[in-house]
Structures are given as structure tokens and as C-alpha cells.
Amino acid sequence: MAEEMRDALGAVYYVTLGCAKNEVDTDRMRSLLRSAGYEEAFDPGDADIALVNTCSFLASATEESIEATLALAEESADGVRSLPIVMCGCVPSRYGDDLPPELPEVAAFVKTDEEDAIVSVVDGVLGVERATPPFVPDVKRTVEGSVAYVKISDGCDRFCSFCAIPYIRGRYRSRAWEDIRSEVVDLVGEGVREIVLIGQDTGIWGEDFAEDVAGPRTLAQLLVAVAEAVRPERVWVRVLYLQPEGMTDELIAAIRDTPEVVPYIDIPVQHCSARVLKAMNRTGSEEELDALFARLRREIPGMILRTTYLVGFPGETFEEHERMLAFMDRNGFDYTSVFAFSPEDGTRAAKMDGQLDDDEKLERTQAAQDLAEALGFAATAAHVGERAEVIVDGIEETDEGVELIGHAWFQAPDSDGAVHLDATEATVGDIVEVEFTDSFCYELVGHVVG
């Protein structure tokens, strides 16, 4: 296999850490490298070079990224050939010139805004010379599977006091509609059956466009335009990472009235206390958030709600923590991500007074996680007896034989559990009607009925 791969310019082994936005970035780099004559290796032993796309959202993510890189280097050192490693993404963007002397195992570093030059970087590391520039501007992505994430923006202008993303990915930039449309149409043509629109702050998409830019100019208009672009294929459209103030009348109507758009809303509130939110450099209050979620449930019947609670922010009192738990319980979130506050380098919150000790944060985080699971498990179990469409995502070998795995419209891919199907005749990408017969944790068991 390795010899066959080396008939090309070389074979690249990919490692992606972090969020779905990194998956998109890796996929684009893979597509660029493939178009430039490189093959993909699925084992480091078959590779000529490794590309590690890193995450640095939290200190723990940075540590994981560096550990994965060093583990790959150590594994290579034990083998026959030394494997050059290119570190990409958020860690190089965040720590820049500090990295080369600390990580001599890495052959090259590529920041997030330099990734379109990945072919030149890999060429340089491997000593490949070309007569013409390698960059292919209209390269098509190489997604394999039923779901594809599509970035509609990058960067962030919020500067929440706990978050390093604006320093890593820069200021907010909406992606042009024609670029989004072209990518969506290509992906659907390749068999993708769910398009997930993502960005750091999707609700403000288009606000930074010049006045003379044609086409959709708001997220609501974008959702409708994407739905129109995928017709007549059966495709779900999902949007993630909305902020509370982004839930406009227009957006609510677009989610409710556009059949292709699944009524799944992900609003990471982080907290409900107005005092804590202000310290986070965010807006809102418990009363305003209660009113928003009540309105969403009223105007979009049967919708699914996901949120995020950042536990143990500096100065968070135990009473404020308890009020946040009551807020979660009262609003009955289907899914809640729970994170303990981490004092990130370069952020204002890292230097704030009132830092909680690790034991206190751990205790509060566990309480929040217990409640999140109780609510989420109950919401999942409530689907037993219902029927819904499920996208088939893959096939797994079990002790009892082959099992199909999929997800329903109320389950965001890679986040919310899966549906285990009793059928074997369907294929990846099929949309089948399923009756849910059992549940365990966030997972469902289903019988294919159509």
C-alpha cells in the first residue's frame, strides 16, 4: 500500500483535534493537497508526512494537541522512517514564534490564516519542486459520509472575557454567499444529506458585508437560500452556535417555515446571571433568557434546544450557580454542554479576582453535568414510541453482527448521541423512517419502518 501511494508525490496522514470548524479546515487542506498530487495515508506507517490540525480553545486542548504531536513523533522515531510533522491551526495561531524552539520535532507550523498555502508548505518539507504554483483556488472538498460541516464565517468580534478565539482566529469575517452556495451544491452532489452551517457567531452572518453585495445578507435569508439551493434533493440544513440576541423575528420564521431547516437551536448562554454575564462581556439576564426560550418553544413547536454552561467563572457565587441549575431545569434543555472555567492566557478573565479553586469548580461542574444528563436522558427517552426520519451514517461490527448507525433530525452529528438500527439493507446516506423502540443515555434504538 505504501509503495502504491508513493507513485504520487507523497502520502499525507491527517490528525484533527477540536471542533467541527477544524474538521472543515482539515478537509479543505486535504482537498488542496489531493488536487496537487498527494495521496492520503490512513496509517502513519504508510505516510511520507503528517499534518496535525490543532485546537487551543482551552489550555487542556492545547496540551492534548501538543501531546498528540509528540506521540506521533515518538511513534515515528521507533519506526523505519522519520515522519516529518506539520502542525496547523489554532496552536500555531495562538503561540506563533514561541513554538519552533519548544517543538523541534515539528518541521513546519501553519496558522489558521495560512492554511490555503498548505501545498507550498508540504512541498517545501518534502523537497518537491514545481514548475507552476500549486494553489488551486476552486478546489472541491472531499467529504466522505452523509454529513458535511460548512463554515459560513470565521473569527469573532465578541471578545468574551474568558475566550481566546478572537486572538486565535481574528476578527469576524462572513463568508461570501456564492462560495457557500458552490460548496453546498458540490457536497450535495456527492451524496451529503445534511449540511451543518457553522461559525463562531452564525447569527450575525452578513452584517459585515458592503452595501452593494448582492444575495442574502442575513442568516435567515442565508438559510432560505441554502434550502432553495439543495432542492429537489432530500437534505437537512442545520445551523449551530447562535447567540441569544441573534434570534430575530426573521430568523425564527426562517427556521419554522423552511422545511429543509431542522428546528434545532443551539444557543450557548454560558450563564443566566446578569452580573456574571456582564463580567463575561456578554449581555442578557435570567428574565430575558427565560422569555426567549419560552418564545422559541411557543413559536417553533417541537423544537430542540441545546445550550452551554460555563461553570465556576471568577466571582460566581454558590447562589448564582444554584440559580443556573434551576434555570437549566426550568427550561428543560434537550442537550447541555458543561465546561469548567479555565483561566486562558491572554484573556481578561484569567486575571480577574475571585478565582475559584479547582475542587469547588469540579464539584459545581459535576452537579451541572448530573442535571444536564438527567434532562438529556429524559428528553431522549421521550422519543421512544415516536417515528422520525433518520440519516444512516455508518456501519458497525458488533458481537451480534452488523449494525447500522444513524442520527435523527433532533440529534446534531457528533454531539447528541445516535440511533442504532435493526436493519442491514440500508446504505450510508439513506434517509429512512424509524420507530424508536428503546433508549439508553443519549442513544436510541430504532426499527426501520419505511
272 is in an annotated binding site: no
Cβ(203)–Cβ(185) below 8 Å: no
CA 97 to chain centre: 27
Maximum distance among all Cα pairs of the chain, rounded to whole angstroms:
67
Nearest to 406 by CA among 426, 392, 387: 392
88 is in an annotated binding site: no
Terminal-to-terminal C-alpha distance of the chain: 41
Per-residue exposure over 414-429, b if at least 16 CB sit within 10 Å of its own CB, e if not = eebbbbbbebeebebb
C-alpha cell at 436: 424508536
Beta bridge partners of 11: 39
Beta bridge partners of 86: 51, 108
In this structure, the dihedral spanned by the alpha carbons of residues 278, 283, 289 and 295, taken in order and rounded to 10 degrees, is: 170
The rounded radius of gyration (Å) of the Cα atoms in the chain is 23
Cβ(274)–Cβ(236) below 8 Å: no
Nearest to 346 by CA among 27, 88, 43, 96: 96
Q: How far apart are CA 71 and CA 80, in angstroms?
A: 16
Q: How far apart are CA 273 and CA 315, in angstroms?
A: 12
DSSP secondary structure of 403-415: EEEEEETTS-TTT
Beta bridge partners of 174: 153
Q: How far apart are CA 66 and CA 87, in angstroms?
A: 9
Q: How far apart are CA 297 and CA 67, in angstroms?
A: 43
Cβ(408)–Cβ(442) below 8 Å: no
With a CB cutoff of 8 Å and minimum separation 6, the contacts of 319 are none
Numbered residues of the known binding site: 19, 55, 90, 156, 160, 163
Numbered residues of the known binding site for [4Fe-4S] cluster: 19, 55, 90, 156, 160, 163
